[in-house]
Amino acid sequence: MDLARRPLRSAPLSVYLLDADEELAEEFDVRMRLAVRQTATARVLSAECGRCDLIAWLRSVGMGPGLLVLDGIIAVETRVGGRTAMELIGAGDLLQPPGAAPDELLERSEAWRALTPARIAVLDEDFADRMRPWPEIGRALLRRANQRIVEIDMLRAIASQPRLEVRLVLLLWHLASRWGRVEPDGIRVSLPLTHRLLGELVAAERPSVSHALTRLAHAQLVVGAPGDWHLRGTLERHLDSLIERPLARQAG
């Protein structure tokens, strides 16, 4: 992936938000939906795979709701004290403008990486003003913002597990709940995540992640290549196997 930050392109046309986000459309009955659709429009940004600079667009929304991901997967990387933590956001997630620095003593930086091509709607102050007659939109977006807090809490709880194999298994099953595909003997999770990026999600270094995945593959719990994992069996079986029979560590 290109490490240089790429500016996001603004599409020449706006999008009808209720067409692009079915859950928002479901906030209204069919008759009301037709009226709201004409007003609930937003400018669209497009991001190619690689690092992308969202800060200028986040600032541009002013007091508006934020940037709404319409499709694609974006990694949000937060760096403090030389360590990076990451979360994944996708369709329906809301990125909000940065507020005042929560901690004046610690330096914090944030970066964004599009793992797949993505489209993002700019929900700025003008959008918020046009939506005043329909508070259902604001309430739905508030729930989206709260859901990201829940997601971060889940990742924090997963990263607190002492054993790396358990952290990886819990993470992959968590990702499977949103991006997985059910198969006869388990679930397939196809996400463009390298071992380094997995490490940022579970608070581990890349070599340790690689060794842990090798042990999980030998145990026939998680098989496949990076970016295309197959979770064999059930989460209960995985956890039972890891708790009752700790996997043998491989040399190196």
Instruction: Give 26-69 pLDDT, tens digit per residue.
Output: 999 999 999 999 999 999 999 999 999 898 899 899 999 999 99
Q: Is the pTM of this model over 0.85?
A: yes
182-239 tens-digit pLDDT: 988 889 999 999 999 999 999 999 999 999 999 999 999 999 888 899 999 889 989 8
The residue length of the chain stands at: 252
Q: Tell me how far CA of residue 149 lies from CA of 131, 142, 156, 176, in angstroms.
A: 24, 11, 11, 19
Q: Which residues contact 76 (CB under 8 A, 6 or more apart)?
A: 86, 87, 88, 89, 95, 110, 111, 112
Confidence of residue 10 (pLDDT cuts 50, 70, 90): low
Look-up: residue for tokens 């692009």? 20
Alpha-carbon 83 to chain mean position:
19
All domains of the chain, ordered by start, with CATH?
A: 6-158 (2.60.120.10), 162-244 (2.60.120.10)
Look-up: residue for tokens 């091509």? 117
